[in-house]
Structure 1
């Protein structure tokens, strides 16, 4: 079985991300995941010669496994695709501290969205091709 391709990016912990005890707020960790996901979509679709279409988050879950502090950064956000449907896909996000410890993980169900009709739309062939590169080989049919 082949290994899943993973997109990675580093995100700096900013002064306003933490509370008075120096712990990064969980809502900020979700923002780190969002930043990684947005960079993935922008960079990978652009590299394929296209422009990312609109997507919306339908559902997201997150598990906070280890605290992040002001000294934990920069954090590394790893993004992969765990499901690819006709108009939706699920992305997995793993947030690691500067020492490589997994601090949080979460999945987001995203839906391709037509901004004019405000309804879901099918993923384009180019979007499917880009997302499919980050999907485990065993799930491709």
Structure 2
């Protein structure tokens, strides 16, 4: 299974999906036509003994946001039988410590590539000014309980293609 993003996209205008227009747009060569935006309110229980949101919790935020994009009605991801998705690989870069705040953080997610039976998903966890973490995940379409891979159907491809592209980098504060 290859995780290389495919090229050939032309530059498109930015449309934020789900929540609201974002003050920091995208200017890259292959910007996403839609970015899936997932807001997450921090909980005190997410903090470690140093007062930072723990790395495992950050990974949970990414997974919640990606599930919301992959399966908005939750009719596939949480099944124990039939078509679903499984995570094959996560690659997380923890950029900056995230501390508690009242305002929610946002997870922006785009699809880097839609394969025959797998999806490369790129996400970043941020607030208005700073990126705290980035995540690249490979999801595999499969059938349970066997766990055998399956081809993505046309409905899935159409939904995921809306989010194809890249997310520009937001400068990280040090």
Q: What interval of TM-score do these two structures reach, taking the shorter chain for normalisation?
A: 0.7 to 0.9
Task: Answer yes or no: is 1:75 the counterpart of 2:112.
Answer: no
CA distance in 1: counterparts of 2:41 and 2:122, whole angstroms: 20
Which deviates the most, 25-34 or 70-79? Answer: 70-79
1:27 to 56, 67, 73: 56
Task: Answer yes or no: is 1:15 the counterpart of 2:44.
Answer: yes
Which deviates the most, 70-79 or 82-91? Answer: 70-79
RMSD: 1.9
Deviations 1:39-61 (A, max 9, x none): 11232xx4xxx954410000110
- In the TM superposition, 1:1-141 aligns within 5 A as 1-2=11-12, 3-4=31-32, 5-43=34-72, 46=73, 51-52=75-76, 53-71=83-101, 73-97=103-127, 99-136=128-165
TM-score (norm 1): 0.85
TM-score (norm 2): 0.70
Whether contact under 8 Å (2:41, 2:102) holds in the other structure is no
Q: Give unmatched runs, 5+ long, in structure 1.
A: none
Runs of 4+ aligned residues of structure 1 deviating over 3 Å after TM superposition are 50-53
Q: Give unmatched runs, 5+ long, in structure 2.
A: 1-10, 13-30, 77-82, 167-174
Using CA pairs under 8 Å that are at least 6 residues apart, name the structure with larger relative contact order, 1 or 2. Answer: 1
CA distance in 2: counterparts of 1:89 and 1:22, whole angstroms: 34
Whether contact under 8 Å (2:86, 2:140) holds in the other structure is yes
Deviations 1:62-111 (A, max 9, x none): 001111001274110001000110000100011003x3311100100010
Higher helix proportion, which one?
Answer: 1
How many equivalent pairs are there?
131
